[in-house]
Amino acid sequence: MLKNLKSSSLLLPLLILVLTPLGVLADDGPTPGQIAGDNAWMLTSTCLVLLMTIPGVALFYGGLSRKQNVLSTLMHVFAGTCVVTITWCVIGYSIAYSEGTTPYYGGLANFMFAGFEFDPEGAGLPVGVDVVFQATFAIITTALIAGSFAERIKFSSTLIFMAIWSVVVYAPICYWVWGGGILSEKGILDFAGGTVVHINCGIAGLVAAIVVGKRTVASYKYAPHNLIYTIVGASLLWVGWFGFNAGSAYGANEGAGMAMLVTQIAAAASALSWMLIEWFTKGKPTVIGLTGGAVAGLVAITPASGFVYPMGALVIGIVAGAACWFFSTVVKKSLGYDDSYDVFGIHGVGGIVGALLTGLFCVPILAGVEPGMEQLGIQFFGILMTIGWCGFATFVILKVIDMTIGLRVSNKVEQEGLDVNLHGEIVD
């Protein structure tokens, strides 16, 4: 009997080993299935973010333009996508994500893809997917700026500005926040680009609107030519934003799910906030107000999307809608600058609101830090750093272009329309 007991005791561990799933006995990291699922989600997210620019931003801006400038507006976005794709892959990614010798500027270790290891058998996120996913962020940031000086700038000047700005301004600030630079060292919270994308493009848009100057066409002629384009573009932005925010979780995981939920809540809350204020003050709710409010909420939740719970997102959305409405209407009218499609009022202000409120509503289990005045101070420091460098560099770039090839079209071209004069095409 003792012999049988000994035999049983030897067989029992073997039986347990055979019958127990491998993952229960050892935690050796993600399974091949998990890796494949994460990669599939990142490929999908990349497509969604690109969808935000072409056609999302293109249609959103195109619908807001005058009929004689709609093709010019679409060209800015489409051609800008091409330009920034090249600058990002050649040098921008390296500046943003290579190890630098200072906390302000990344290195050139990956210039023109040097040092990249394209390993099809490697585990984890393929480097090619990371490069193109991050490229879509650089693309939309630069494309959004075009909405500030639309309908009066030379096409050639726009392309030169986009190429230089994406390297000199966007890539370094990306390094500061996500590449291990100074703001990353300080502990700033920016899950998906409130600082890197939206404050950045908003400040650039404000500077550009001031430097380029106002449109000369009478204000009553600024009426958007096709609000159907605008609401379709806004809808594409909303859908694509799930790739923006949930994709920044870098996997098909619980963090991505929460980011998607809070993104939806903030967008809806902000859209209603803006619409109700407009309804109360003007007596009628408008398509422009509703869509602008939705985009404002999407902007504001971007830095917070991986760090807050639903009720925090609700507050962020409500505040963002009210703040962006105020700056896009009252402040813009009072100060007199011509930000064609409210790049600063929506993206700049929305990004600032979102960055600050992230410091107040972040959840320790998600963010790894406590909410409060200390984190609020860090967020504020990041905002000031971004405003300072972006504002200064954008001003210099525009002034250099203006002194060389010029920024604006002639008054005659502006009045007749950029489409026929710059591109030889018209919309019937």
Domain of residue 203, CATH code: 1.10.3430.10
Residue 339 lies in a domain: yes
334 domain-assigned: yes
Mean pLDDT of 373-381: 97
Q: Tell me the pLDDT tens digit for each residue of 127-172.
A: 889 999 999 999 999 999 999 999 999 999 999 999 999 999 999 9
Q: Is residue 233 part of a domain?
A: yes
33 within domain boundaries: no
Domain-embedded: residue 163: yes
| pLDDT over threshold 70, residue 401 | yes
**Angle, helix 349-361 to helix 200-212, in steps of 10 degrees:** 160
User: Does 425 fall in a domain?
Assistant: no
The pLDDT assigned to 217 comes to: 72
Residue 387 structural domain:
45-110+126-419
State residue 218's pLDDT score.
61
| Residue 198: band (very low, low, confident or very high) from pLDDT cuts 50, 70, 90 | very high
Q: Is residue 87 part of a domain?
A: yes
Tell me what the mean pLDDT of segment 283-289 comes to: 95
Q: How far is CA 35 from the centre of its chain?
A: 25
pLDDT above 80 for 366: yes
Residue 16: pLDDT band (50, 70, 90) is very low
Mean pLDDT of 370-393: 97
Confidence band for 119, pLDDT divided at 50, 70 and 90 = low
Domain total in the chain: 1
Indicate whether 29 pLDDT > 80: no
Residue 273 vs residues 235, 266, 355: alpha-carbon distances, Å: 18, 10, 19
Band the pLDDT of 7: cuts 50, 70, 90. very low
Position 17 pLDDT exceeds 60 = no
Q: In whole angstroms, what is the distance from residue 111 CA to residue 91 CA?
A: 5
Q: Is the pLDDT of residue 403 over 50?
A: yes
Q: What is the mean pLDDT of residues 34-51?
A: 93
Shortest CA distance to 53 belongs to which of 115, 126, 144?
144
The pLDDT tens digits of the residues spanning 299-324 come to 999 999 999 999 999 999 999 999 99
Residue 170: its pLDDT value, please? 98
Query: For residue 97, which of 193, 163, 173, 187 has the smallest C-alpha distance?
Result: 173
Percent of the chain exceeding pLDDT 90 equals 81
> What is the per-residue pLDDT for 407?
96
Give the pLDDT of residue 22: 39
Q: Per-residue pLDDT for 274 more than 80?
A: yes
- The predicted structure's pLDDT at residue 113: 84
Q: What is the mean pLDDT of residues 315-341?
A: 96
Condensed to tens digits (0 to 9), the pLDDT of residues 87-104 reads 999 999 999 999 888 889
Residue 18: band (very low, low, confident or very high) from pLDDT cuts 50, 70, 90: very low
Q: Mean of the per-residue pLDDT values for the chain?
A: 90
Model confidence at 12, in pLDDT bands (50, 70, 90)? Answer: very low
Q: Average pLDDT, stretch 275-287?
A: 96
Residue at 34 is within a domain:
no
